[in-house]
Amino acid sequence: MAGSVVVGMSGGVDSAVAAHILKGQGYEVTGLFMKNWEEDDATDYCTALADFGDAAAVSDQLGIELLTANFAAEYWDNVFEAFLDDYRAGYTPNPDVLCNREIKFKVFADYARDLGFDTVATGHYARRSPAGKPFRLLRSHDPDKDQTYFLQAVPASRLERCLFPIGGLTKPEVRERARTAGFEVHDKKDSTGICFIGERRFDDFLARYVRGEPGPIRDADGTLLGNHRGLSFYTLGQRQGIGLGGIRGRRERPWYVAGKDIGTNTLTVTQDERDLETTWLHAADLNWISPSMDGSDALRGAMRCTAKIRYRQPEQPCEIEVDGERARVTFDTPQRAATPGQFVAFYDGDECLGGGRIVDTGCPRE
């Protein structure tokens, strides 16, 4: 027997195939379905009940036990509260990155260990270095589905205790394995968006928790163009929902959010997309996963690598200069709408070196 493993079962095709692969490899597999959100109107928007039914059906077919755990309190305290604090501060947070760091690879992993399991596994599209080698987080074989960007904030000490069974497969291959195994979820639609918001309008949901303070909308020259409903409801690069129609003396071109000033409660907009470009950014709360980044020598001076500032973005050549828990990242070519509150992930070929939280950016025309 290869050992015992508990698989995070979401009710989707990826975790189903992950469990199927591990059982075929001789592991003693147990599934665990996590409930991470509770709300009075959850039945109107959340698919948790249907997802649990799908996870249970797959577990029955595999002949494995399916446990359930409620981590809603931990999710609220460690993910959702941070999400709200970021919006109040004018940032645009990424709760999926926080969920991986705080829940799936911390609370869930600790829970599984307390139950006596040797390791945990998930349906993430990522790979790891072979057993017995120093841990390295590697990109999935499917470039369209690679999820290392969402894992870059998780400490290596936690990732190295996790298995990623589908990292060597493409999404079509995963669906085909599920179909062959007879799983009804083989053609289930991938989940999208933020899990606790579901299908409802984002602004309506956010307004329940974050008070919007109206203020001026100005262009780069300071000309007053209109009023916004609250800076929390806008993000850099945004085009829709700004509320500016045709303005006399201005070109018939779309407006974009170019900046937010919390001090003056001002939203800055532009019709020139070059104003959205970034040549450098500062990242904080750095997390290094690669053993090659372990030690002061690796973090001294400038270093060439690639980076991405959003999921599914191709890696961009850059230079990073690390100073303690902060790094300056200078890109070879301008990047569009690098957004404070989001994350930057660093790569060396297929290896994800780690990443950090974007806290400041600079424009090429400064």
Q: What is the per-residue pLDDT across 261-283, written as a single tens digit (0 to 9) for each?
A: 999 999 999 999 999 999 999 99
Residues listed for the chain: 366
Residue 170 confidence class, pLDDT cut points 50, 70, 90: very high
Residue 26 confidence class, pLDDT cut points 50, 70, 90: very high
Q: Per-residue pLDDT for 195 more than 70?
A: no
SS3 of 85, please? helix
| In the chain, alpha helices (H) | 13-24, 42-45, 48-62, 72-75, 81-88, 95-99, 108-114, 148-151, 156-159, 171-181, 202-207
Catalytic center residues: 99, 195
Mean pLDDT, residues 342-361: 97
Q: Per-residue pLDDT for 253 more than 80?
A: yes
Give me the residue label for tokens 């928790």.
Answer: 209
Specify the DSSP class assigned to residue 1: -
> Mean pLDDT over all residues of the chain?
91
Q: What is the pLDDT of residue 43?
A: 46
Q: What is the pLDDT of residues 110-158, one digit of tens each?
A: 999 999 998 999 999 999 999 889 999 999 999 999 999 999 999 999 9
Short-list 142, 108, 156, CA closest to 9: 108
Mean pLDDT, residues 95-120: 94
Assess contact for 229 and 178: CB atoms under 8 A. Answer: no
The residue with greater pLDDT, 365 or 52, is 52
Q: Angle CA(143)–CA(126)–CA(68) in degrees, nearest 5?
A: 130
Q: What is the pLDDT of residues 27-66, one digit of tens each?
A: 999 999 999 887 655 444 567 788 999 999 999 999 999 9
CA dihedral 334, 340, 345, 346 (to 10 degrees): 50
